[in-house]
Amino acid sequence: MAFEPVIGIEVHAQLKTNTKLFCGCPTTFGQATNSHVCPVCLGLPGALPVLNRQTVLFAIRAGLALNCQIQPQSVFARKNYFYPDLPKGYQISQFDLPLCTGGYVDIVVDGQPKRIGVTRIHMEEDAGKLLHQGAEAISGATHSLVDLNRACTPLIEIVSEPDIRSAQEAKIYVETLKQILEHIGVCDGNLEEGSLRADANVSIRPVGQDAFGTKTEVKNLNSFRSIERAVIYEIKRQEEALGRGEAIVQQTRHYDDTTQKTRAMRSKEEAHDYRYFPDPDLLPLVVTPQQIEEVRAQLPELPQARRKRYRDLGLGEHDCETLLNDLARLAYFDACVAVKGEVAPKLIANWILGEMTAVYKEGKHGFEGSPIIPERFVAFLLLIQTDKISGKIGKELLPKLIGSTQSPSELVASLGVSQMTDTSALDGIIADILAANPDVIEKVKSGKTNAADFLIGQVMKQTRGQAKPDLVRELIHQKIQSL
Protein backbone atom coordinates (compact mmCIF):
# COMPACT_ATOMS: atom_id res chain seq x y z
CA MET A 1 0.00 0.00 0.00
CA ALA A 2 1.26 3.48 -0.84
CA PHE A 3 1.32 5.99 2.02
CA GLU A 4 1.36 9.76 2.09
CA PRO A 5 3.18 11.56 4.93
CA VAL A 6 1.35 14.36 6.77
CA ILE A 7 3.67 16.67 8.68
CA GLY A 8 3.14 19.69 10.87
CA ILE A 9 5.99 21.61 12.46
CA GLU A 10 6.28 23.58 15.66
CA VAL A 11 9.15 26.04 15.73
CA HIS A 12 10.31 27.70 18.94
CA ALA A 13 12.18 30.90 18.19
CA GLN A 14 13.99 32.87 20.85
CA LEU A 15 13.26 36.57 20.52
CA LYS A 16 16.21 38.96 20.42
CA THR A 17 15.16 41.08 23.37
CA ASN A 18 17.78 42.40 25.81
CA THR A 19 15.86 41.19 28.84
CA LYS A 20 13.64 38.26 29.75
CA LEU A 21 9.89 37.90 29.19
CA PHE A 22 8.68 38.75 32.70
CA CYS A 23 11.71 40.23 34.49
CA GLY A 24 14.67 42.54 33.84
CA CYS A 25 17.40 39.85 33.74
CA PRO A 26 19.63 39.93 30.61
CA THR A 27 19.18 37.22 27.96
CA THR A 28 22.87 37.05 26.99
CA PHE A 29 23.93 33.54 25.94
CA GLY A 30 26.93 31.71 27.40
CA GLN A 31 27.27 33.50 30.74
CA ALA A 32 28.35 31.96 34.08
CA THR A 33 25.65 29.56 35.25
CA ASN A 34 22.85 31.04 37.35
CA SER A 35 24.29 34.56 37.08
CA HIS A 36 21.29 36.05 35.25
CA VAL A 37 18.49 35.24 37.64
CA CYS A 38 16.16 37.07 40.02
CA PRO A 39 13.18 36.21 42.23
CA VAL A 40 10.81 36.27 39.22
CA CYS A 41 12.67 33.86 36.95
CA LEU A 42 13.69 31.71 39.94
CA GLY A 43 9.99 31.33 40.71
CA LEU A 44 10.33 32.48 44.32
CA PRO A 45 7.03 32.80 46.19
CA GLY A 46 5.43 36.23 45.94
CA ALA A 47 7.46 37.43 42.94
CA LEU A 48 5.22 38.89 40.23
CA PRO A 49 5.78 38.85 36.47
CA VAL A 50 5.83 42.08 34.44
CA LEU A 51 5.37 41.63 30.69
CA ASN A 52 8.29 42.78 28.48
CA ARG A 53 6.86 45.26 25.95
CA GLN A 54 9.53 44.51 23.31
CA THR A 55 8.54 40.84 23.27
CA VAL A 56 5.01 41.77 22.27
CA LEU A 57 6.25 44.10 19.51
CA PHE A 58 8.58 41.36 18.15
CA ALA A 59 5.80 38.76 18.28
CA ILE A 60 3.44 41.10 16.39
CA ARG A 61 6.19 41.74 13.84
CA ALA A 62 6.61 37.99 13.33
CA GLY A 63 2.84 37.59 13.03
CA LEU A 64 2.60 40.27 10.35
CA ALA A 65 5.58 38.83 8.41
CA LEU A 66 3.85 35.42 8.45
CA ASN A 67 0.55 36.91 7.25
CA CYS A 68 -1.34 36.29 10.50
CA GLN A 69 -4.23 38.14 12.09
CA ILE A 70 -3.12 39.88 15.26
CA GLN A 71 -5.69 39.33 17.98
CA PRO A 72 -6.81 42.48 19.83
CA GLN A 73 -6.91 40.48 23.04
CA SER A 74 -4.83 37.46 24.00
CA VAL A 75 -4.34 35.69 27.30
CA PHE A 76 -1.33 34.23 29.13
CA ALA A 77 -1.99 30.83 30.63
CA ARG A 78 -0.17 28.54 33.01
CA LYS A 79 0.94 25.21 31.59
CA ASN A 80 1.43 23.04 34.64
CA TYR A 81 4.07 20.34 34.78
CA PHE A 82 7.02 19.39 36.91
CA TYR A 83 10.59 19.27 35.70
CA PRO A 84 13.78 20.35 37.52
CA ASP A 85 14.49 23.13 34.98
CA LEU A 86 11.10 24.75 35.69
CA PRO A 87 11.25 26.24 39.18
CA LYS A 88 7.68 27.63 39.26
CA GLY A 89 6.14 24.26 38.44
CA TYR A 90 4.39 25.84 35.46
CA GLN A 91 5.37 27.58 32.25
CA ILE A 92 3.68 30.84 31.29
CA SER A 93 2.44 30.39 27.73
CA GLN A 94 -0.63 31.23 25.69
CA PHE A 95 -3.26 28.61 25.18
CA ASP A 96 -6.77 29.08 23.76
CA LEU A 97 -6.31 32.79 23.02
CA PRO A 98 -2.92 33.26 21.29
CA LEU A 99 -1.62 36.57 19.93
CA CYS A 100 -1.52 35.59 16.22
CA THR A 101 -3.70 33.24 14.19
CA GLY A 102 -4.30 32.09 10.63
CA GLY A 103 -1.17 32.97 8.63
CA TYR A 104 0.97 31.27 6.01
CA VAL A 105 4.51 30.86 4.68
CA ASP A 106 5.25 30.50 0.98
CA ILE A 107 8.05 28.06 0.25
CA VAL A 108 9.65 26.88 -3.00
CA VAL A 109 10.17 23.14 -3.51
CA ASP A 110 12.07 22.06 -6.64
CA GLY A 111 11.17 25.35 -8.29
CA GLN A 112 7.47 25.00 -7.46
CA PRO A 113 5.72 27.38 -5.02
CA LYS A 114 3.83 25.89 -2.11
CA ARG A 115 1.90 27.57 0.70
CA ILE A 116 2.16 26.20 4.25
CA GLY A 117 -0.52 27.39 6.65
CA VAL A 118 0.42 28.85 10.03
CA THR A 119 -2.19 27.92 12.63
CA ARG A 120 -0.97 30.25 15.35
CA ILE A 121 1.91 32.07 16.96
CA HIS A 122 1.98 32.46 20.70
CA MET A 123 4.42 33.86 23.25
CA GLU A 124 5.85 31.81 26.06
CA GLU A 125 8.79 31.65 28.44
CA ASP A 126 11.64 29.19 28.01
CA ALA A 127 12.69 26.78 30.76
CA GLY A 128 16.17 26.56 32.30
CA LYS A 129 18.75 24.04 31.21
CA LEU A 130 19.92 20.79 32.79
CA LEU A 131 23.64 20.08 32.59
CA HIS A 132 24.07 16.32 32.74
CA GLN A 133 27.25 15.22 34.48
CA GLY A 134 29.35 12.18 33.68
CA ALA A 135 27.83 11.57 30.25
CA GLU A 136 26.88 13.42 27.06
CA ALA A 137 23.15 13.00 27.60
CA ILE A 138 20.79 12.22 30.45
CA SER A 139 21.21 8.49 29.87
CA GLY A 140 24.42 7.42 31.58
CA ALA A 141 24.73 10.61 33.64
CA THR A 142 25.51 10.27 37.35
CA HIS A 143 23.70 13.49 38.26
CA SER A 144 22.50 16.74 36.67
CA LEU A 145 22.96 20.41 37.51
CA VAL A 146 20.46 23.19 36.82
CA ASP A 147 21.28 26.47 35.06
CA LEU A 148 18.40 28.95 35.20
CA ASN A 149 19.94 31.69 33.03
CA ARG A 150 17.63 30.63 30.21
CA ALA A 151 14.52 30.40 32.41
CA CYS A 152 11.95 33.01 31.38
CA THR A 153 13.71 33.87 28.10
CA PRO A 154 11.05 35.00 25.58
CA LEU A 155 10.03 32.58 22.84
CA ILE A 156 7.45 32.53 20.15
CA GLU A 157 6.05 29.18 19.13
CA ILE A 158 5.00 29.03 15.48
CA VAL A 159 2.64 26.15 14.79
CA SER A 160 2.12 25.11 11.18
CA GLU A 161 -0.92 23.44 9.68
CA PRO A 162 -0.34 19.77 8.71
CA ASP A 163 0.34 20.92 5.13
CA ILE A 164 3.84 19.47 4.74
CA ARG A 165 4.12 16.29 2.67
CA SER A 166 7.80 15.32 2.69
CA ALA A 167 11.04 15.57 4.66
CA GLN A 168 12.38 17.94 2.02
CA GLU A 169 9.39 20.27 2.44
CA ALA A 170 9.84 20.14 6.22
CA LYS A 171 13.45 21.23 5.91
CA ILE A 172 12.66 23.99 3.39
CA TYR A 173 9.80 25.25 5.57
CA VAL A 174 12.08 25.69 8.60
CA GLU A 175 14.83 27.25 6.44
CA THR A 176 12.33 29.73 5.01
CA LEU A 177 11.00 30.54 8.46
CA LYS A 178 14.51 31.08 9.81
CA GLN A 179 15.32 33.44 6.97
CA ILE A 180 12.15 35.50 7.55
CA LEU A 181 12.68 35.74 11.33
CA GLU A 182 16.30 36.81 10.82
CA HIS A 183 15.39 39.40 8.20
CA ILE A 184 12.78 41.04 10.39
CA GLY A 185 15.31 41.14 13.24
CA VAL A 186 13.32 39.24 15.86
CA CYS A 187 15.49 36.10 16.15
CA ASP A 188 19.16 35.42 15.41
CA GLY A 189 18.26 32.01 13.98
CA ASN A 190 21.20 30.30 15.65
CA LEU A 191 20.30 26.62 15.71
CA GLU A 192 23.49 25.57 17.53
CA GLU A 193 22.77 27.91 20.44
CA GLY A 194 19.16 26.78 20.48
CA SER A 195 17.63 30.10 19.37
CA LEU A 196 15.58 28.15 16.86
CA ARG A 197 14.25 24.69 17.72
CA ALA A 198 11.86 22.55 15.73
CA ASP A 199 9.57 19.64 16.62
CA ALA A 200 7.92 17.65 13.85
CA ASN A 201 4.51 16.00 14.07
CA VAL A 202 4.59 13.09 11.65
CA SER A 203 1.86 10.71 10.56
CA ILE A 204 1.15 8.73 7.42
CA ARG A 205 -2.08 7.74 5.71
CA PRO A 206 -2.97 5.62 2.67
CA VAL A 207 -2.86 7.75 -0.50
CA GLY A 208 -6.38 9.03 -1.22
CA GLN A 209 -7.55 8.85 2.40
CA ASP A 210 -8.65 12.14 4.00
CA ALA A 211 -8.51 11.17 7.68
CA PHE A 212 -5.17 11.63 9.39
CA GLY A 213 -3.22 8.70 10.78
CA THR A 214 -1.92 8.59 14.36
CA LYS A 215 0.94 11.04 14.77
CA THR A 216 4.16 11.03 16.67
CA GLU A 217 6.02 14.16 17.74
CA VAL A 218 9.76 14.13 17.07
CA LYS A 219 11.85 16.39 19.29
CA ASN A 220 15.48 17.52 19.42
CA LEU A 221 15.83 18.66 15.83
CA ASN A 222 18.65 21.17 16.07
CA SER A 223 19.90 21.36 12.49
CA PHE A 224 18.30 21.42 9.04
CA ARG A 225 19.95 18.11 8.29
CA SER A 226 18.51 16.49 11.42
CA ILE A 227 15.02 17.79 10.56
CA GLU A 228 15.20 16.11 7.16
CA ARG A 229 16.78 12.89 8.43
CA ALA A 230 14.46 12.53 11.42
CA VAL A 231 11.35 12.93 9.26
CA ILE A 232 12.67 10.47 6.68
CA TYR A 233 13.39 7.95 9.44
CA GLU A 234 10.03 8.47 11.11
CA ILE A 235 8.04 8.05 7.87
CA LYS A 236 9.90 4.84 7.10
CA ARG A 237 9.46 3.52 10.66
CA GLN A 238 5.70 4.13 10.53
CA GLU A 239 5.37 2.56 7.06
CA GLU A 240 7.19 -0.55 8.26
CA ALA A 241 5.07 -0.78 11.42
CA LEU A 242 1.82 -0.51 9.44
CA GLY A 243 3.22 -3.00 6.93
CA ARG A 244 3.65 -5.50 9.78
CA GLY A 245 0.07 -4.89 10.85
CA GLU A 246 1.07 -2.93 13.97
CA ALA A 247 -0.71 0.24 15.11
CA ILE A 248 1.16 3.53 15.45
CA VAL A 249 1.35 4.62 19.08
CA GLN A 250 0.83 8.32 19.73
CA GLN A 251 3.99 9.35 21.49
CA THR A 252 6.81 11.84 21.80
CA ARG A 253 10.02 10.58 20.22
CA HIS A 254 13.59 11.77 20.57
CA TYR A 255 15.85 12.05 17.52
CA ASP A 256 19.43 10.90 18.01
CA ASP A 257 21.77 12.56 15.54
CA THR A 258 24.52 9.96 15.91
CA THR A 259 22.35 6.89 15.19
CA GLN A 260 20.03 8.94 12.92
CA LYS A 261 17.06 7.21 14.53
CA THR A 262 14.10 8.29 16.62
CA ARG A 263 13.24 6.48 19.84
CA ALA A 264 10.19 6.60 22.09
CA MET A 265 10.53 9.15 24.92
CA ARG A 266 7.09 9.21 26.51
CA SER A 267 3.50 8.60 25.53
CA LYS A 268 2.18 11.79 23.98
CA GLU A 269 0.44 14.02 26.46
CA GLU A 270 -2.81 15.82 25.65
CA ALA A 271 -3.44 19.50 26.31
CA HIS A 272 -5.80 18.72 29.20
CA ASP A 273 -2.97 16.92 31.01
CA TYR A 274 -1.39 20.34 31.60
CA ARG A 275 -4.39 21.81 33.41
CA TYR A 276 -4.05 25.11 31.55
CA PHE A 277 -5.70 28.10 33.18
CA PRO A 278 -5.35 31.88 32.70
CA ASP A 279 -2.44 33.24 34.73
CA PRO A 280 -4.03 35.28 37.54
CA ASP A 281 -0.85 37.40 37.84
CA LEU A 282 -1.15 38.76 34.28
CA LEU A 283 -3.93 40.82 32.74
CA PRO A 284 -5.21 39.88 29.29
CA LEU A 285 -2.94 41.45 26.68
CA VAL A 286 -4.72 44.15 24.70
CA VAL A 287 -3.20 45.37 21.42
CA THR A 288 -4.73 48.36 19.66
CA PRO A 289 -5.09 48.62 15.85
CA GLN A 290 -2.83 51.67 16.03
CA GLN A 291 -0.06 49.67 17.73
CA ILE A 292 -0.35 46.98 15.07
CA GLU A 293 -0.10 49.58 12.30
CA GLU A 294 2.99 51.10 13.94
CA VAL A 295 4.70 47.70 13.87
CA ARG A 296 3.58 47.13 10.27
CA ALA A 297 5.04 50.48 9.21
CA GLN A 298 8.44 49.45 10.63
CA LEU A 299 8.45 46.00 9.05
CA PRO A 300 11.67 45.65 6.99
CA GLU A 301 11.72 44.29 3.45
CA LEU A 302 10.89 40.58 3.56
CA PRO A 303 13.17 38.00 1.89
CA GLN A 304 10.63 37.26 -0.84
CA ALA A 305 10.43 40.92 -1.90
CA ARG A 306 14.18 41.23 -1.69
CA ARG A 307 14.69 38.16 -3.86
CA LYS A 308 12.46 39.67 -6.53
CA ARG A 309 14.26 43.03 -6.34
CA TYR A 310 17.67 41.33 -6.73
CA ARG A 311 16.46 39.31 -9.72
CA ASP A 312 15.26 42.55 -11.30
CA LEU A 313 18.78 43.90 -10.74
CA GLY A 314 20.10 41.02 -12.85
CA LEU A 315 21.39 38.72 -10.12
CA GLY A 316 21.23 34.95 -10.60
CA GLU A 317 19.47 32.62 -8.19
CA HIS A 318 22.65 31.44 -6.50
CA ASP A 319 23.86 35.00 -5.84
CA CYS A 320 20.42 35.95 -4.46
CA GLU A 321 20.33 33.05 -2.01
CA THR A 322 23.94 33.51 -0.90
CA LEU A 323 23.28 37.19 -0.19
CA LEU A 324 19.98 36.49 1.59
CA ASN A 325 21.68 34.15 4.04
CA ASP A 326 24.16 36.68 5.43
CA LEU A 327 22.53 39.81 6.78
CA ALA A 328 25.66 41.94 7.24
CA ARG A 329 26.90 41.20 3.72
CA LEU A 330 23.42 41.80 2.34
CA ALA A 331 23.21 45.21 4.03
CA TYR A 332 26.61 46.05 2.51
CA PHE A 333 25.42 45.00 -0.94
CA ASP A 334 22.31 47.19 -0.56
CA ALA A 335 24.47 50.13 0.55
CA CYS A 336 26.66 49.67 -2.55
CA VAL A 337 23.65 49.45 -4.86
CA ALA A 338 22.34 52.69 -3.34
CA VAL A 339 25.49 54.54 -4.50
CA LYS A 340 26.30 52.41 -7.55
CA GLY A 341 26.05 55.06 -10.29
CA GLU A 342 27.04 53.31 -13.53
CA VAL A 343 28.39 50.15 -11.89
CA ALA A 344 26.44 46.96 -12.67
CA PRO A 345 24.81 45.32 -9.61
CA LYS A 346 25.94 41.93 -10.92
CA LEU A 347 29.59 43.09 -10.79
CA ILE A 348 29.04 44.37 -7.23
CA ALA A 349 27.54 41.02 -6.17
CA ASN A 350 30.34 39.02 -7.84
CA TRP A 351 33.07 40.95 -6.06
CA ILE A 352 31.33 41.04 -2.68
CA LEU A 353 30.59 37.31 -2.70
CA GLY A 354 33.94 36.35 -4.20
CA GLU A 355 37.09 38.33 -3.62
CA MET A 356 35.88 40.71 -0.92
CA THR A 357 34.55 37.88 1.26
CA ALA A 358 37.91 36.10 0.91
CA VAL A 359 39.93 39.24 1.70
CA TYR A 360 37.73 40.10 4.70
CA LYS A 361 37.91 36.56 6.04
CA GLU A 362 41.70 36.60 5.73
CA GLY A 363 41.99 39.98 7.49
CA LYS A 364 39.23 39.14 10.02
CA HIS A 365 37.18 42.13 8.88
CA GLY A 366 33.40 42.19 9.00
CA PHE A 367 30.94 43.57 6.47
CA GLU A 368 29.31 45.28 9.43
CA GLY A 369 31.53 48.33 9.94
CA SER A 370 33.35 47.43 6.73
CA PRO A 371 36.85 49.02 6.47
CA ILE A 372 36.09 49.79 2.82
CA ILE A 373 33.03 52.03 2.69
CA PRO A 374 30.50 51.34 -0.11
CA GLU A 375 31.35 54.56 -2.05
CA ARG A 376 35.02 53.56 -2.18
CA PHE A 377 34.24 49.98 -3.18
CA VAL A 378 31.94 51.16 -5.99
CA ALA A 379 34.63 53.60 -7.22
CA PHE A 380 37.06 50.69 -7.30
CA LEU A 381 34.61 48.52 -9.28
CA LEU A 382 34.09 51.33 -11.78
CA LEU A 383 37.81 51.07 -12.67
CA ILE A 384 37.28 47.39 -13.54
CA GLN A 385 34.03 47.94 -15.40
CA THR A 386 35.58 50.67 -17.56
CA ASP A 387 38.75 48.62 -18.26
CA LYS A 388 41.04 51.00 -16.35
CA ILE A 389 42.38 47.97 -14.52
CA SER A 390 42.05 44.24 -15.20
CA GLY A 391 40.21 41.91 -12.85
CA LYS A 392 43.53 40.31 -11.99
CA ILE A 393 45.03 43.64 -10.93
CA GLY A 394 41.78 44.35 -9.09
CA LYS A 395 42.35 41.28 -6.92
CA GLU A 396 45.80 42.56 -5.96
CA LEU A 397 44.48 46.05 -5.38
CA LEU A 398 41.48 45.22 -3.18
CA PRO A 399 43.40 44.46 0.05
CA LYS A 400 45.44 47.67 -0.49
CA LEU A 401 42.25 49.72 -0.31
CA ILE A 402 42.03 48.85 3.38
CA GLY A 403 43.85 51.43 5.48
CA SER A 404 44.88 53.57 2.50
CA THR A 405 43.77 57.21 2.30
CA GLN A 406 44.22 57.36 -1.49
CA SER A 407 41.22 57.03 -3.79
CA PRO A 408 41.13 53.81 -5.86
CA SER A 409 42.22 55.69 -9.02
CA GLU A 410 45.05 57.47 -7.15
CA LEU A 411 46.17 54.11 -5.86
CA VAL A 412 46.19 52.67 -9.40
CA ALA A 413 48.23 55.65 -10.62
CA SER A 414 50.75 55.50 -7.77
CA LEU A 415 51.26 51.74 -8.19
CA GLY A 416 51.46 52.06 -11.98
CA VAL A 417 49.06 49.18 -12.59
CA SER A 418 46.51 50.66 -14.96
CA GLN A 419 45.42 48.33 -17.72
CA MET A 420 47.34 48.37 -21.01
CA THR A 421 44.77 49.02 -23.69
CA ASP A 422 47.31 50.62 -26.04
CA THR A 423 47.65 48.22 -28.98
CA SER A 424 51.01 49.55 -30.13
CA ALA A 425 52.55 48.92 -26.69
CA LEU A 426 51.31 45.32 -26.81
CA ASP A 427 52.37 44.69 -30.42
CA GLY A 428 56.07 44.51 -29.57
CA ILE A 429 55.57 42.13 -26.63
CA ILE A 430 53.31 39.86 -28.69
CA ALA A 431 55.78 39.79 -31.59
CA ASP A 432 58.58 38.66 -29.24
CA ILE A 433 56.47 35.92 -27.69
CA LEU A 434 55.30 34.62 -31.08
CA ALA A 435 58.91 34.55 -32.32
CA ALA A 436 59.92 32.45 -29.31
CA ASN A 437 57.10 29.91 -29.76
CA PRO A 438 56.89 28.75 -33.40
CA ASP A 439 55.66 25.29 -32.34
CA VAL A 440 52.63 26.77 -30.57
CA ILE A 441 51.82 28.86 -33.63
CA GLU A 442 51.79 25.66 -35.73
CA LYS A 443 49.34 24.06 -33.31
CA VAL A 444 46.99 27.03 -33.44
CA LYS A 445 47.19 27.09 -37.24
CA SER A 446 46.33 23.38 -37.39
CA GLY A 447 43.07 24.13 -35.59
CA LYS A 448 44.04 23.69 -31.91
CA THR A 449 42.89 27.19 -30.99
CA ASN A 450 43.14 26.39 -27.25
CA ALA A 451 46.91 26.33 -27.64
CA ALA A 452 46.77 30.12 -27.93
CA ASP A 453 45.93 30.26 -24.19
CA PHE A 454 49.60 29.56 -23.49
CA LEU A 455 50.62 32.58 -25.56
CA ILE A 456 48.05 34.78 -23.85
CA GLY A 457 49.37 33.61 -20.48
CA GLN A 458 52.91 34.59 -21.53
CA VAL A 459 51.77 38.09 -22.50
CA MET A 460 49.87 38.50 -19.23
CA LYS A 461 52.95 37.40 -17.33
CA GLN A 462 55.20 39.81 -19.19
CA THR A 463 52.81 42.72 -18.60
CA ARG A 464 52.39 41.78 -14.90
CA GLY A 465 48.68 41.25 -15.48
CA GLN A 466 48.12 44.73 -16.84
CA ALA A 467 47.16 43.72 -20.38
CA LYS A 468 43.51 43.22 -21.13
CA PRO A 469 43.13 39.47 -21.78
CA ASP A 470 40.36 39.84 -24.39
CA LEU A 471 42.43 42.33 -26.33
CA VAL A 472 45.55 40.13 -26.15
CA ARG A 473 43.56 37.15 -27.42
CA GLU A 474 42.24 39.16 -30.35
CA LEU A 475 45.68 40.53 -31.27
CA ILE A 476 47.37 37.12 -31.06
CA HIS A 477 44.79 35.49 -33.34
CA GLN A 478 45.11 38.37 -35.80
CA LYS A 479 48.89 38.07 -35.83
CA ILE A 480 48.90 34.29 -36.30
CA GLN A 481 46.41 34.47 -39.15
CA SER A 482 48.54 37.07 -40.92
CA LEU A 483 51.72 34.90 -40.64
CB of 46 to Zn ion, least distance (A): 14
Query: CA 148, 149, 152: angle at the middle one, nearest 5?
Result: 80
CB of 87 to Zn ion, least distance (A): 11
Write the single-letter amino acid at 31: Q
State which residue, 63 or 128, has the beta carbon closest to Zn ion: 128
* Binding residue for Zn ion, selected from 3, 4, 38, 161, defined by CB under 5 A: 38
DSSP 1-39: --EEEEEEEEEEEE---SB-SSS--B--TTPSTT-S--T
CB atoms within 10 A of CB 371: 13
CB of 388 to Zn ion, least distance (A): 60
CB of 17 to Zn ion, least distance (A): 13
Q: Please tell me the number of Cα atoms within 13 Å of 400 on its side-chain side.
A: 16
Strand intervals (E) in 244-309: 251-256, 261-267, 277-278, 285-286
CB of 24 to Zn ion, least distance (A): 7
Stretch that binds Zn ion, among 34-42, 103-111, 202-210, 323-331 (CB under 5 A): 34-42
State which residue, 129 or 205, has the beta carbon closest to Zn ion: 129
CB of 88 to Zn ion, least distance (A): 12
CB of 223 to Zn ion, least distance (A): 30
Q: Total residues contacting Zn ion (rule CB under 5 A)?
A: 5
Sequence-ordered list of residues with C-beta below 8 angstroms from that of 200, at least 6 positions apart, any chain: 7, 8, 9, 10, 170, 217, 218, 221, 227, 230, 231, 234
Stretch that binds Zn ion, among 20-28, 102-110, 306-314, 322-330 (CB under 5 A): 20-28
CB of 44 to Zn ion, least distance (A): 10
Closest CA to 193 of 169, 223, 166, 151: 223
Residues 145-164, interacting with Zn ion (CB under 5 A): none
State which residue, 149 or 419, has the beta carbon closest to Zn ion: 149
Length of the chain measured in residues: 483
CB of 39 to Zn ion, least distance (A): 7
**23 in contact with Zn ion (CB under 5 A):** yes
Stretch that binds Zn ion, among 41-49, 113-121, 220-228, 442-450 (CB under 5 A): 41-49
Between helix 391-401 and helix 408-415 the angle, nearest 10°, is 110
CB of 99 to Zn ion, least distance (A): 22
Stretch that binds Zn ion, among 36-44, 110-118, 346-354, 453-461 (CB under 5 A): 36-44
State which residue, 25 or 172, has the beta carbon closest to Zn ion: 25
Residues 167-196, interacting with Zn ion (CB under 5 A): none
Per-position x/- string for 420-459, each x denoting binding to Zn ion as judged by CB under 5 A, each - no binding: ----------------------------------------
Residues 64-123, interacting with Zn ion (CB under 5 A): none
How far are the Cα atoms of 347, 382, 428, 470 from residue 417, in angstroms, in the given order?
20, 15, 19, 17
Stretch that binds Zn ion, among 15-23, 257-265, 297-305, 458-466 (CB under 5 A): 15-23
* Binding residue for Zn ion, selected from 11, 41, 401, 417, defined by CB under 5 A: 41
The span from the CA of 454 to the CA of 383, in Å, is: 27
Stretch that binds Zn ion, among 18-26, 130-138, 390-398, 424-432 (CB under 5 A): 18-26
Closest CA to 126 of 253, 23, 274: 23
SS3 277: strand
State which residue, 152 or 472, has the beta carbon closest to Zn ion: 152
Judge whether 384 and 347 are in contact, CB under 8 Å: yes
Write the single-letter amino acid at 309: R
Stretch that binds Zn ion, among 39-47, 241-249, 262-270, 374-382 (CB under 5 A): 39-47
CB atoms within 10 A of CB 256: 15
Closest CA to 158 of 61, 272, 62, 300: 62
State which residue, 149 or 160, has the beta carbon closest to Zn ion: 149
How far are the Cα atoms of 305, 308, 313, 401 from residue 339, in angstroms, in the given order?
20, 20, 14, 18
Stretch that binds Zn ion, among 17-25, 77-85, 130-138, 399-407 (CB under 5 A): 17-25
* Interacting residues with Zn ion (CB under 5 A): 23, 25, 38, 40-41
